Structure 1
């Protein structure tokens, strides 16, 4: 079916429930815990997001119902989007529905020209390539569910339009360089002894050590389950039972391994982890998430809190936090490993990258303190004495 301005009709579906964690065995704790959302902690922005998401999902479900798609099938289709993807998508899909309402366009039967007008409106509002591309992906994904034969992503006009936006307002990597990991390590050495420092400092130290030594995202740290921590004599293995950003069918992050560092116990992540587990055992109750609040009640914390901890450590280490965010630990960590001649295959396995393209494009950065003059190197190596 075509809209008033011509073109194909499209649709989408969404995921509205959280994915239940899949946990393996445990050597630390066999207790099970339940959690609930504390409505008193829901901000106005979060409430608005939930309202928008609910409205979007209802419209998508109704469109699927009109195609005689059962509720059970709709649930599975909606589950093709992870929660993080939904959080990005629903903001733009709600804007799309409002746009269609103003233009008297059927949300799921819009033409390519309608979509281009909507993307242009977003661009004119000041959004860059990345945001507009997310909006395009959202609409395209919805359309593909309602009409599998239609794909905005392969439409030549859409592709050229997005290329034009990139050329006029490009989305480039955030960092051109990274920070010196030795600065952070020197600061962490001052947080001793681990058995007497405050729980807050101990939490900061453990979060940064794990992030720095494994190159993991804050999401991964947030999802560490104490039941999946296996402690041996000289190392610790941590398995992940939850879906991570890099998880795909047939591919999941391998267990991360933390090795005891006998050369300098001030930087030993295993010792720090053991102290943290012992310190929080009587505080966490039935909470199975590794990182808990440093204040009573000691409940599980959000991914943002872990990010704030890492940011604080960076700031205390003398790193410019206006330039470098918590996620920069992933760049600094793996870039340092590459500079230390760690094999690229090992780096990819540890960080969870399938190929080296992502690492080379976004994460392999020179240290901000490195000042190499190419001209001098050429003269030193090729000039005749």
Structure 2
């Protein structure tokens, strides 16, 4: 489900507010895009949910839980409220996350002169919708307020979607 998160929101995900259960991890995004661009006073919550055991290798809750446990001893005052930190304890930047995403896209054979890290939002939403995930669920996961936004910008035909090309080449690589 990270594919539906913006890089700018991942770096603002609140570590101190994480609510971790067996099946989900959620917390507010401080100053999320949907809050900056409107007079919306609602708090934006980024939530990851577990996948079934057959998809454990790509389960975002499992992997984030492991990361949080592994990074615990590196957290310092300089980490602030960031979920994602570097080896030295400093928070990761938007540029750092984008470089990781572009590297994975490139290794997957995707032309990164045409597709950028934000392209994963459209691809992931389209993949979920093409695999019969209910529209309202995808809209909630992507934190979109308008059905029209999802229809116009995020529900696209994915070449080779039935073969799982995006899933096999991008999602499982990360």
Q: TM-score range by the shorter chain?
A: 0.7 to 0.9
Total equivalences in the alignment: 157
Deviations 1:152-178 (A, max 9, x none): xxxxxxxxxxxxxxxxxxxxxxxxxxx
Backbone CA RMSD of aligned residues: 2.1
In structure 2, the CA distance between the partners of 1:305 and 1:325, relative to structure 1 (3 Å rule), is: same
Q: 1:366 aligns with which of 140, 157, 160?
A: 157
Structure 1 residue aligned with 2:118: 327
In structure 2, the CA distance between the partners of 1:370 and 1:251, relative to structure 1 (3 Å rule), is: same
In structure 2, the CA distance between the partners of 1:262 and 1:299, relative to structure 1 (3 Å rule), is: same
Q: 2:32 aligns with which of 244, 248, 261?
A: 244
Deviations 1:15-72 (A, max 9, x none): xxxxxxxxxxxxxxxxxxxxxxxxxxxxxxxxxxxxxxxxxxxxxxxxxxxxxxxxxx
Structure 2 residue aligned with 1:314: 105
Structure 2 residue aligned with 1:273: 64
Report the structure, 1 or 2, having the larger strand content.
2
Structure 2 residue aligned with 1:290: 83
Looking at structure 1, the residues matched to 139 and 125 of structure 2 have their Cα atoms a distance apart, in angstroms, of 9
Looking at structure 1, the residues matched to 92 and 48 of structure 2 have their Cα atoms a distance apart, in angstroms, of 23
The answer to whether the 8 Å contact 2:15/2:27 transfers is no
The answer to whether the 8 Å contact 1:217/1:330 transfers is yes
Larger Rg: 1
In structure 2, the CA distance between the partners of 1:265 and 1:350, relative to structure 1 (3 Å rule), is: closer
CA apart distance, 1:257: 3.2
Q: Which runs of 5+ in 2 are unaligned?
A: 163-174
Looking at structure 2, the residues matched to 301 and 246 of structure 1 have their Cα atoms a distance apart, in angstroms, of 21
Q: Which runs of 5+ in 1 are unaligned?
A: 1-209, 372-385
Looking at structure 2, the residues matched to 242 and 370 of structure 1 have their Cα atoms a distance apart, in angstroms, of 34
Looking at structure 2, the residues matched to 264 and 369 of structure 1 have their Cα atoms a distance apart, in angstroms, of 20
CA apart distance, 1:308: 0.8
The reply on whether 1:348 has 2:139 as its aligned counterpart is yes
The answer to whether the 8 Å contact 2:9/2:29 transfers is no
Q: Tell me the TM-score normalised to structure 2 length.
A: 0.80
